[in-house]
Amino acid sequence: MTPRRAIGIDLGGTNIKGGIVDRDGRILHREEMQTGAERGPDPVIDDLAELVRRLGSAAPSPFKGEGRGEGQSGAGVVGVGLATPGPLDLRNGRIIHAANLPGWKDVPIRDALAKKTGLRVTLENDANAAAFGELSSGAGRGCQHMALLTLGTGVGAGVIVDGRLLHGHFDNAAELGHMILVVNGSPCPCGQRGCLERYASADAVVRRVRDEGPREPQVEIVSAADVARRAAEGDATCRRVWDEACLYLAVACVNIQHAYNSQRIILGGGLSLAGDFLLEPVRRHLHEQTWRLHDDVPEVLLAGLGSDAGLVGAGTLALANRE
């Protein structure tokens, strides 16, 4: 019997990642290309269709091992999973308006790609797909209730309840990066003020350190990794901003705890590359901030799949929809 596989695609503003994924979340063959989103939707959808054709015809090779990125490919492809920025209209398979895909409004991407490839296409929000990837073969494996926070340019999120993605009535549940933590706080591009992502994203910690004013000429802060490094070295401003970001994340975890009663909350994205330097203060603040009425504090973990989570999640979602 031919093993069941699907093609997973993670469509980003800069790059497109594609691969053949099996039901265990292993990437058996992969490709990556530039998006060129400024060309508009039609040329990019053509590129996606060509990528699907290349992946689907990839030559089989003998199975070599259990690790991701090894194995055979090309046979038994049952569909395509497509992870894209949102917000999305999942019922009709449309991108409503993707901020990092300029000019992409009301794009019927699911049906357009299905028509060009002859394969069933499962469309999902990129953060949701990443959450499903972590559930399938990452830090959420074996868990039925979890949430993922991706801490990058903003804060993306996905929530799993009873082993299934939470979508909500408007298909946009779990926009946790836009929970308001500071009333009348920092303006967010979404139109609200005081959103989590304005205080605890990778971009936020850099911006907040820079906003403190001039620094030593030899010290350049260009990334969250710079902030973490300087904080570890004892820089007072970086230490304060970093610890405040961890506190905001912990408060967000308390809110997730009460809203969804998750077993695990997984931290991914660029900020999570700091490892225990992020994880330990978030855990400490969480236990300081949460209630004492019941011992239902979620476990906080680092993501296990890194930048592959969206691709893996898209592929495994396509497989799940065919079972």
Q: Which residues contact 314 (CB under 8 A, 6 or more apart)?
A: 8, 9, 10, 21, 81, 82, 83, 122, 124, 129, 133
H or E stretch at 55: helix 41-56
First to last CA, the chain: 15
Number of Cβ within a 10 Å radius of residue 180: 14
Contact between 21 and 8 (Cβ < 8 Å): yes
List, for residues 257-312, the tens digit of each pLDDT value: 999 999 999 999 999 999 999 999 999 999 999 999 998 999 999 999 999 999 99
Q: What are the CA-CA distances from residue 118 to residues 112, 114, 250 (Å)?
A: 10, 5, 45
pLDDT band at 86 (very low <50, low <70, confident <90, very high): confident
Output the average pLDDT for the chain: 90
Q: State the average pLDDT over residues 119-138.
A: 96
**C-alpha span between 287 and 131 (Å, rounded):** 24
Decide if pLDDT at 237 tops 90. Answer: yes
H or E stretch at 43: helix 41-56
Q: What is the CATH code for 5-136+308-320? A: 3.30.420.40
Q: State the average pLDDT over residues 148-169.
A: 95
Q: Which residues contact 220 (CB under 8 A, 6 or more apart)?
A: 226
Q: Which residues contact 207 (CB under 8 A, 6 or more apart)?
A: none
List, for residues 204-236, the tens digit of each pLDDT value: 999 999 998 666 655 788 999 999 999 999 999
Cα angle 29, 35, 36; round to 5: 155
- Note the CATH architecture for domain 142-304: 2-Layer Sandwich (3.30)
In sequence order, what E strands does the chain have?
A: 5-11, 15-22, 27-34, 77-84, 88-89, 94-97, 105-107, 121-125, 146-151, 155-161, 164-165, 264-268, 299-302
* Residue written as token pair 């999120």: 157
5-136+308-320 and 142-304: identical CATH topology: yes
Please state whether the predicted TM-score (pTM) of the whole model is above 0.85. Answer: yes
**C-alpha span between 230 and 235 (Å, rounded):** 5
**DSSP, residue by residue, 101-159:** STT-EEE-HHHHHHHHHSS-EEEEEHHHHHHHHHHHHSTTTT-SSEEEEEESSSEEEEE
Structure tokens of 195?
A: 């959103």
Q: State the average pLDDT over residues 67-85.
A: 67
**C-alpha span between 28 and 30 (Å, rounded):** 7
Greatest Cα-to-Cα distance within the chain, rounded to the nearest angstrom:
65
The residue extents of the domains of the chain are: 5-136+308-320, 142-304
Contact between 150 and 157 (Cβ < 8 Å): yes
Cα angle 239, 300, 293; round to 5: 105
pLDDT of residue 99: 76
**C-alpha span between 178 and 181 (Å, rounded):** 9
